[in-house]
């Protein structure tokens, strides 16, 4: 997606070999026009599908989940909570997710009330790196017997294995921009197909 | 706001003397139509003001912050991060916030890049109870020499002291629904003025 690629090129910061920092428009400050446009773009990629609900994980995923849900005509968003600091109760589906950013294991959970059998779920997140967050959300869908129709992310780190593994499993995975690597602080974007 | 009051009456759960659970449309599952309408309603309350930026705190505040920002014509959202588990760096404004829900002290922070001197900031959050989160965001605005033009929340717990104290300080505070108490599991809403 052109606007996202431009934002990454102009504002993104590459750190070391693998950290892509897009705090100025996605992860801390949010460019709301861009977020709204990304929601529309993800909608276009999945508009042939019946989608009942958007599933994401707090916190950075929420903004784009909202704009995707708006593009689908205001379907609900469910965001998984990171456990241990929420009053979500105990009647939950739960999965363990290793956070690449924070280098720690998090437990994420969704109340059993909000995902039901046969519900068609589109998973949305800001980043796809090793795929742990999306795997965790897929596990929660399986526990709920909901049907994941696919996953959509803003930025995929193509040099990490998550996207490849998820696609190999048969899941439809859409990313709006793919980072192929970081070279001397410069974020190298894959050419659009 | 009528639609929010209806959602609270139909779906809200009162627990004990002071817990208002609105997980099914605001804090875990998000009713995106209602969130979008709440954004419009908050915009109407502040449309006379020049607002440069919406400031909130992760995670539940983000959804409504986005819809308010959309109503203002896609101004940026900045969300404070809860420290200790973020890669936000060290060049931050920081405040300590006691979380009523989780009964613990959190440190919240905003990168110095994203709030600047003279910037007109509207604070948005899902809940206002004791006012700790908004006080923390006001402290961060003061550190940045930004100008808070007011605060807007979806649900105010009128029986806790936050709203009263913030208004007494001269801040314009808007809440879309006020809970006056919980009686035998029933959430008692204040009549609209």
Residue B160 belongs to domain with CATH number = 3.40.50.2020
Q: By CB neighbour count within 10 A (0-12 exposed, 13-18 middle, 19+ buried), where does A16 fall?
A: exposed
d(CA A143, CA A137): 10
A31 or A82: which carries more pLDDT confidence?
A31
Q: How far is CA B49 from CA A158, A175, A176, B74, B137, in A?
A: 44, 38, 35, 15, 19
Q: Quick check: B129 and B157 in contact, CB under 8 A?
A: yes
d(CA A165, CA B173): 49
Q: By CB neighbour count within 10 A (0-12 exposed, 13-18 middle, 19+ buried), where does A48 fall?
A: exposed
B98 or B118: which carries more pLDDT confidence?
B118
pLDDT for res B94: 96
Say which DSSP state A24 is in.
I
The average confidence (pLDDT) of chain B is 94
Structural domain span for residue B33: 2-189
Closest CA to A26 of A41, A9, A7: A7
Q: Nearest CB to A29: which of B29, B70, B76? A: B76
Angle between helices A32-46 and A2-11 (to 10 degrees): 140
Binary contact (A59, B79; C-beta < 8 A): yes
Q: Quick check: B158 and B177 in contact, CB under 8 A?
A: no
Residues from chain B contacting residue A76 (CB–CB below 8 Å): 29-32
User: Quick check: B126 pLDDT over 60?
Assistant: yes
What would the mean pLDDT of B123-127 be, rounded to a whole number? 98
CA-based nearest distance B168→chain A, Å: 30
Residues from chain A contacting residue B58 (CB–CB below 8 Å): 58-59
pLDDT-based confidence at residue B169 (cuts at 50, 70, 90): very high
CA-based nearest distance B85→chain A, Å: 6
pLDDT for res B164: 97
Q: How far is CA A4 from CA A21, B66, B95, in A?
A: 13, 18, 32
**Matching residue, tokens 């999306």:** A134
Binary contact (B66, A35; C-beta < 8 A): yes
Binary contact (B30, A77; C-beta < 8 A): yes
A131 or A85: which carries more pLDDT confidence?
A131
Which helix (H) or strand (E) segment holds residue B135: the answer is helix B132-144
pLDDT for res A98: 87
Closest CA to A111 of A130, A91, A128, A95: A91
- pTM of the model as a whole: 0.96
Q: Nearest CB to B62: which of A23, A59, A114? A: A59
pLDDT-based confidence at residue A103 (cuts at 50, 70, 90): confident
Q: By CB neighbour count within 10 A (0-12 exposed, 13-18 middle, 19+ buried), where does A139 fall?
A: middle
Give per-residue pLDDT as tens, B2-30: 999 999 999 999 999 999 999 999 999 99
Provide the token pair at A67: 């704009």
Binary contact (B76, A102; C-beta < 8 A): no
Of B88-97, B129-138, B183-192, give the lowest mean pLDDT range. B88-97
User: Quick check: B181 pLDDT over 80?
Assistant: yes
Strand partners, B29: A78
Residues from chain B contacting residue A66 (CB–CB below 8 Å): 30, 32, 35, 62-63, 66-67
pLDDT for res A155: 98
Q: Quick check: A124 and A68 in contact, CB under 8 A?
A: yes
Q: Quick check: B63 and A77 in contact, CB under 8 A?
A: yes
User: Quick check: A102 pLDDT over 80?
Assistant: no
pLDDT-based confidence at residue B102 (cuts at 50, 70, 90): confident
Q: ipTM of this model?
A: 0.95
Closest CA to B69 of B124, B28, B3, B4: B124
Helix (H, G, I), strand (E, B), or coil: what is residue B25?
helix
d(CA B145, CA B93): 11
Q: Nearest CB to B74: which of A19, A28, A36? A: A36
CA dihedral B65, B107, A156, B74 (to 10 degrees): 20
Residues from chain A contacting residue B75 (CB–CB below 8 Å): 32
pLDDT for res B83: 72
d(CA A123, CA A149): 8
Of A91-95, B49-53, B81-85, give the lowest mean pLDDT range. B81-85
d(CA B59, CA B71): 20
**Matching residue, tokens 């006056």:** B180
Provide the token pair at B59: 């995670």
CA-based nearest distance B110→chain A, Å: 8
Q: Quick check: B61 and B79 in contact, CB under 8 A?
A: yes
User: Quick check: A13 pLDDT over 90?
Assistant: yes
Closest CA to B126 of B165, B95, B93, B100: B100
d(CA B88, CA B98): 21
Of the CA atoms within 13 Å of residue B36, those in its CB half-sphere come to 15
d(CA B192, CA B123): 22
**Domains of chain B: total:** 1
Nearest CA in chain A to B77: A30
Which residue, among B52, B55, B66, would best test binding to A if mutated, counting the most A CBs under 10 Å from its CB?
B66
């Amino acid at each position: 997606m052109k606007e996202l690629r431009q934002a990454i090129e102009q504002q993104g910061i590459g750190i070391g070999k693998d950290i892509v920092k897009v705090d100025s428009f996605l992860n801390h400050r949010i460019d709301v026009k861009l977020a709204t446009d990304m929601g529309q773009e993800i909608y276009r990629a999945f508009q042939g599908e019946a989608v009942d609900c958007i599933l994401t994980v707090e916190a950075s995923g929420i903004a784009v989940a909202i704009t995707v849900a708006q593009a689908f005509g205001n379907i609900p968003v469910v965001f998984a909570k990171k456990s241990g600091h929420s009053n979500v109760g105990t009647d939950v589906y739960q999965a363990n997710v290793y956070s690449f950013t924070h280098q720690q294991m998090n437990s994420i959970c969704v109340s059993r009330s909000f995902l039901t059998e046969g519900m068609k779920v589109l998973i949305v997140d800001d980043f796809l790196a090793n795929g742990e967050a999306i795997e965790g959300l897929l596990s929660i869908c399986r526990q709920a017997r909901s049907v994941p129709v696919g996953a959509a992310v803003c930025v995929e780190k193509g040099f990490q294995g998550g996207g490849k593994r998820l696609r190999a499993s048969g899941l439809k995975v859409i990313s709006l921009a793919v980072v192929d690597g970081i070279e001397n602080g410069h974020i190298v974007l894959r050419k659009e197909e």
